[in-house]
């Protein structure tokens, strides 16, 4: 299956993964997109368990996604991109729909489960690649299911409340809150041609 948004085929994503240095976590793929970095996490399956049960019961499921870039694992993030997605499920067609809430708002419908997961993660904001070509960096993706008390104050008139999302990711997840992590690095921009 070819990704029409990014223009990359599965084989090209595989080649990007092979370009990553040995020892890096291959679950998070990083590629250059002009002056930005984009990530893909083909092994993360988040439409399972409690979120999938919620969807099949006719409810929506909200997800908050954070991508951080650091130059040293012990330091604060150099760049942070935060996004939010709402997924629904059509019981008759057995297909998923998803909306990227923050600007720019995007939506997709009539996708199967893996395509919906891939679309959501592919829509995350691009991170500016403002590093020197040989400086080492790491990227981490964290995805959480938003619970009812988390989701309400996150939505506002302009889209999402970024400060509220940062607060959400600043605290540890609740014991029952589903969460997925993926990371890559150390990497260098020179290796991601």
What is the per-residue pLDDT across 181-190, written as a single tens digit (0 to 9) for each? Answer: 999 988 998 8
What average pLDDT score do residues 15-43 get?
67
Q: Collapse the DSSP code of 52 into the 3-class scheme (helix H, G, I; strand E, B; otherwise coil) and give the result.
A: helix
Instruction: Tell me, rounded to whole angstroms, the distance of Cα 30 from its chain centroid.
Output: 12
Residue-wise pLDDT for 163-176, tens only, equals 555 555 455 555 56
Q: What is the mean pLDDT of the chain?
A: 76
Comparing 162 with 127, the larger pLDDT belongs to 127
Q: Is the pTM of this model over 0.75?
A: no
How far is it between the farthest Cα atoms of the chain? Answer: 52
Secondary structure string (H, E, C) spanning 162-193? HHHHHHHHHCCCCCCCCEEEEEEEEEEHHHCC
């Amino acid at each position: 299956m070819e990704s029409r948004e990014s223009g990359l085929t599965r084989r090209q994503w595989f080649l990007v993964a092979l370009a990553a240095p040995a020892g890096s976590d291959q679950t998070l793929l990083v590629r250059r997109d002009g002056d930005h970095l984009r990530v893909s996490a083909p092994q993360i399956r988040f439409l399972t368990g409690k979120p999938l049960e919620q969807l099949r019961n006719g409810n929506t499921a909200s997800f908050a996604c954070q991508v951080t870039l650091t130059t040293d694992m012990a330091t604060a993030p150099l760049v942070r991109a935060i996004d939010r997605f709402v997924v629904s499920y059509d019981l008759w067609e057995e297909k998923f729909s998803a909306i990227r809430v923050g600007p720019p708002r995007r939506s997709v419908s009539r996708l199967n489960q893996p395509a919906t997961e891939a679309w959501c993660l592919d829509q995350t904001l691009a991170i500016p690649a403002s590093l020197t070509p040989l400086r080492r960096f790491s990227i981490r993706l964290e995805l959480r299911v938003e619970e009812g008390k988390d989701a309400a104050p996150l939505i506002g008139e302009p889209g999402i409340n970024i400060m509220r999302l940062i607060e959400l990711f600043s605290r540890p997840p609740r014991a029952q809150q589903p969460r997925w992590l993926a990371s890559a690095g150390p990497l260098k921009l020179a290796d991601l041609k």
